Chains A and B, each alone.
Chain A
Amino acid sequence: AQKITQTQPGMFVQEKEAVTLDCTYDTSDQSYGLFWYKQPSSGEMIFLIYQGSYDEQNATEGRYSLNFQKARKSTNLVISASQLGDSAMYFCAMREGNTGGFKTIFGAGTRLFVKA
């Protein structure tokens, strides 16, 4: 069963506008972690932001913020004031388990295109 679902294969956003990338997850664990990574065309995987399942406040990191809705099992990434350099593939991921290294499962990704 797919545990991380990113339903938007591709998204367009106008430069300087905000954009929301969707992610839903499935787990029966009470303790888990949610991550977003960016992969530009150069290929590297860049960690953006993290949300723990017990965190009561939505995580924020600069222009990145999460809309974490635990009951709905969703953790949407909001990028404010989009820049051309934000054009990339974005992956949502979830950490499973509490011990032994924390296996992480990745979604299929959403490709974001920022238009000038």
Chain B
Amino acid sequence: DAGVIQSPRHEVTEMGQEVTLRCKPISGHNSLFWYRQTMMRGLELLIYFNNNVPIDDSGMPEDRFSAKMPNASFSTLKIQPSEPRDSAVYFCASSPGVLGGETQYFGPGTRLLVL
């Protein structure tokens, strides 16, 4: 079975540009999570969805960040406009989303560099 798929794997952009990160969760998983990892702040949960509905977006840094999950097999994280401090590795993870099946499986991550 395919794991969590993220694209692109690497993104280099200039400050002010829009960045869109994409994620395809594992088929059948009901929950999807977006994380950001930096050396300074570690692994931070940005937002998570359950059954395509955003449950908790308290980790989203500011209005420049937005996330959508239009269907069970696709999610996007958008940064507009991007800033150098957004440079990080962004992970998407999915889980079955039920008690006893809450283990999250991570995608390979998108390494974002904003110049």
Residues of A at under 8 Å CB distance from B? 31, 33, 35, 37, 43-47, 50, 52, 91, 95, 98, 100-106, 108-109
Contact = CB atoms under 8 A, between A and B. Distances in A.
A47 B105 contact: yes
Contacts of A50: 103
Given A43-B89, A43-B108, A43-B109, A102 B102 contact: yes
Nearest to A31: B99
A101 B43 contact: no
A51 to B, nearest CB: 11
Contacts, number: 56
A105 B106 contact: no
Interface of chain B, main secondary structure: strand
A31 B99 CA distance: 10
B5 interface: no
Interface of chain A, main secondary structure: strand
Q: Output the residue of B97, B103, B106 with the most chain A CB within 10 A.
A: B103
Interface string B83-114: 00000010101010101101111101101000
B42 interface: yes
Interface residues of B, number: 26
A29 to B, nearest CB: 12
Interface stretch (B16-24, B44-52, B71-79): B44-52
Contacts of B48: 101, 103
Contacts of B31: 101-102
Contacts of B30: 101
B106 A101 contact: no
Contact of B93 (A43, A45, A109): A45
Interface in B3-19: none
B106 A44 contact: yes
Given A43-B89, A45-B91, A102-B31, A95 B108 contact: no
